[in-house]
């Protein structure tokens, strides 16, 4: 039983404030040591590492016993029954914490060096309730990094940004992660900020809503403080990646409804409305752009759930959304049944980031643009050039020098009205080291409207970036007023692969493919070694599907 002495914070006992890190784990004996070691390596800023084992049945318990024997800061709490979610073990760890500040860490993620010291020094200097830093998503096994919601945080090297509650920065509702933050434990306790118990998914959404509803003094810093490992080839991906399951969508909608309720109950209706707008702009679009690849049964149920949830959204919520989010929501509201065929593809492309408005371009009997039949396309002509949903089709001929032919469409004449004056092709790595290859383009009028352009890309330049790389294909358009649009190229090429040679002995494997969003992509592998990596990748995916 923990008495008052055990609950005393480090600062109250006369010692410098320190951090307790709560780690949750279930059947992850292979990776738990990396997580715990990354926490212990933070040095004296960490006073305790509390690991809550949610009734693991593999070798996790034995590995945790070793870790606790190696460092007295490690405390293990072993649950006898699995909770079915992440909230219950996290709450148990938070209740057991003794230090003045706390952080959260998952068993398959790690903390970068000096993350805790940076967060702690900021919290003490700023007298902060919460300090939030940058989380980096690391795609494994490729190792490709992408910062999470990077625009919410100060630029690299910039001073911290300070908020007394996020009412002045409602965009912070997009940061739904709980693990990229340091919390003053007394603040969480005082306001009852805890996770939902049991088998509840998207528990981060509810936790951060309770946090923001309590109006914390929040400090945002530019430093990377958390490495989120995203493993897409394992047999059981995380909840957020299981978007093929309709339950995933229902859980997300339920969590969002609870977020809105929490903010309304806290007397923050403006934040509640901002949360609804965030749902339209982010959650709705993310799922809608993948919808055409789902089964008919999934689409029917997804459409029903989405329409029911949008019913309670006031007009101001849609008015505050991005044009593409609003357009997707308007199709949902206007159509009781899920759209199919070309209309479904149009919804998916409008939901893309950035959105694309591709042919055909339907009009009503009076010649006004339509999203889909019977649903007006409003606000298109009011968009600034950089906001235009430009659509470009791309065809690739595979060779040592790949030829890329492009056609840019002129949706309802709005692109020509903005007067494009220059363009460039950009290939950026999806998998592999962060690289970009650019080629200038000369736009020529197409006889049926719009523009065409062509260029070539050296396959071996792409190959030399790594043994196996995947490349996104984009086009940047510059308009007469100096504004720019960067949009993904739509795939107009059937999926195909080819081995190409360059004397005397250079070999590359190159593949053109279409992404789940309908975008054009290229994969390039380094000869025999890359070929074996392709085989291994396919084998891993086959095993994942079987498990």
The share of the chain scoring above pLDDT 90, in percent, equals 81
Q: Strand locations in 325-400, DSSP E?
A: 370-372, 375-376, 392-397
pLDDT score, position 522: 94
Position 1 scores a pLDDT of 33
Q: Categorize the per-residue pLDDT at 11 as very low, low, confident or very high, splitting at 50, 70 and 90.
A: very low
Structural tokens at position 382? 């009011």
For 275-339, the DSSP string reads: HHHHIIIIIIHHHHTTGGGS-HHHHHHHHHHHHHHHTT--HHHHHTS-HHHHHHHHHHHH-SS--
pLDDT at residue 516 is higher than 90: no
Q: At a CB cut-off of 8 Å and minimum separation 6, what does 459 contact?
A: 398, 399, 400, 401, 402, 500, 508, 510, 524
Residue 507 clears pLDDT 80, i.e. is over it: yes
For the ranges 6-10, 105-109, 268-272, the lowest mean pLDDT is seen at 6-10
- For 115-156, how does the pLDDT look when each residue is reduced to its tens digit (9 = 90+)? 999 999 999 999 999 999 999 999 887 777 889 999 999 999
Question: pLDDT value at position 234?
Answer: 46
**pLDDT at residue 235, as a whole number:** 46
Strands (DSSP E) found in 141-257: 144-147, 161-164, 181-184, 217-231
pTM for this prediction: 0.88
Q: Read off the pLDDT band of 9 (50, 70, 90).
A: very low
* Strands 520-526, 468-479: pairing kind: antiparallel
Which range (79-83, 163-167, 241-245, 275-279) has the least confidence? 241-245
Query: Is residue 162 over pLDDT 60?
Result: yes
pLDDT score recorded for residue 431: 75
4-8, 333-337, 497-501: the lowest-pLDDT one: 4-8
Model confidence at 262: pLDDT above 60: yes
Query: pLDDT of 19-35, one tens digit each?
Result: 999 999 999 999 999 99
Averaged pLDDT of the chain? 91
Residue 528 — pLDDT band, cuts 50, 70, 90?
low
Does residue 207 sit in helix, strand or coil? helix
Mean pLDDT of 219-236: 83
Max mean pLDDT among 28-32, 515-519, 522-526 falls in 28-32
Mean pLDDT for the stretch of residues 333-361? 95
pLDDT band at 4 (very low <50, low <70, confident <90, very high): very low
* Model confidence at 317: pLDDT above 60: yes
CB of 437 closer than 8 Å to CB of 469: no
* Residue for token pair 């914070």: 9
Helices (H) and strands (E) in the chain, counts: 17, 23
pLDDT at 358 > cutoff 80? yes
């Amino acid at each position: 039983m923990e008495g008052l002495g055990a609950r005393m914070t480090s600062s109250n006992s006369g010692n410098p404030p320190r951090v307790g890190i709560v780690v949750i784990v279930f059947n992850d004996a292979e990776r738990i040591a990396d997580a715990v070691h990354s926490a212990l390596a933070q040095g004296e800023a960490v006073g305790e590492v509390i690991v809550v084992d949610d009734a693991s049945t593999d070798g996790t318990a034995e590995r945790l016993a070793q870790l606790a024997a190696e460092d007295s800061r490690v405390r293990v709490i072993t649950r006898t029954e699995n909770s079915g979610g992440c909230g219950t073990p996290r709450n148990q760890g938070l209740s057991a914490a003794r230090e003045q500040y706390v952080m959260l860490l998952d068993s398959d993620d790690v903390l970068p060096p000096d993350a805790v010291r940076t967060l702690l020094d900021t919290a003490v200097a700023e007298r902060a309730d919460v300090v939030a830093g940058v989380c980096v998503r690391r795609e494994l096994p490729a190792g490709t990094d992408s910062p999470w919601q990077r625009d919410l945080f100060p630029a690299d090297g910039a001073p911290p940004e300070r908020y007394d509650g996020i009412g002045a920065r409602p965009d912070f509702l997009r940061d739904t992660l709980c693990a990229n933050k340091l919390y003053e434990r007394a603040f969480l306790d005082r306001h009852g900020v805890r996770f939902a118990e049991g088998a509840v998914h998207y528990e981060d959404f509810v936790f951060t809503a309770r946090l923001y509803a309590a109006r914390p003094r929040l400090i945002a810093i530019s430093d990377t403080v958390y490495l989120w490992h995203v493993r897409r080839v394992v047999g059981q991906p995380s909840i957020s990646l299981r978007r093929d399951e309709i339950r995933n969508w229902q859980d997300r909608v339920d969590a969002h409804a609870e977020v809105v309720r929490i903010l309304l109950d806290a007397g923050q209706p403006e934040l509640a409305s901002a949360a609804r707008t965030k749902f339209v702009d982010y959650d709705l679009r993310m799922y809608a752009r993948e919808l055409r690849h789902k089964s008919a049964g999934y689409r029917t149920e997804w459409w029903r759930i989405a329409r029911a949830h949008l019913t309670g959204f006031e007009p101001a919520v849609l008015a505050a959304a991005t044009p593409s989010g609003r357009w997707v929501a308007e199709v949902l509201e206007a159509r009781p049944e899920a759209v199919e065929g070309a209309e479904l593809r149009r919804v998916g492309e409008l939901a893309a980031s950035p959105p694309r408005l591709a042919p055909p371009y339907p009009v009503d009997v009076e010649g006004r643009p339509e999203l889909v039949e019977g649903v007006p396309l409003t606000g298109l002509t009011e968009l600034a050039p950089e906001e235009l949903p430009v659509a470009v089709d791309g065809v690739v001929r595979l060779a040592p020098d790949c030829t890329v032919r492009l056609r840019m469409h002129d949706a309802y004449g709005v692109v020509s009205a903005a007067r494009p004056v220059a363009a460039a092709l950009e290939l950026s790595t999806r998998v592999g080291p962060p690289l970009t290859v650019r080629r200038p383009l000369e736009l020529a009028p197409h006889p049926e409207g719009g523009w065409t352009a062509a260029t070539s890309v050296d396959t071996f330049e792409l190959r030399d970036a790594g043994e196996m790389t995947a490349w996104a294909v984009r086009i940047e358009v510059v308009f007469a007023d100096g504004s720019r649009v960067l949009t993904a190229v739509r795939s107009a090429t059937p999926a195909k692969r080819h081995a190409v040679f360059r004397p005397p002995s250079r070999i590359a494997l190159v593949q053109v493919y279409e992404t789940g969003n309908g975008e054009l992509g290229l994969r390039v592998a380094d000869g025999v070694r890359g070929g074996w990596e392709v085989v291994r990748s396919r084998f891993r995916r086959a095993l994942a599907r079987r498990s």
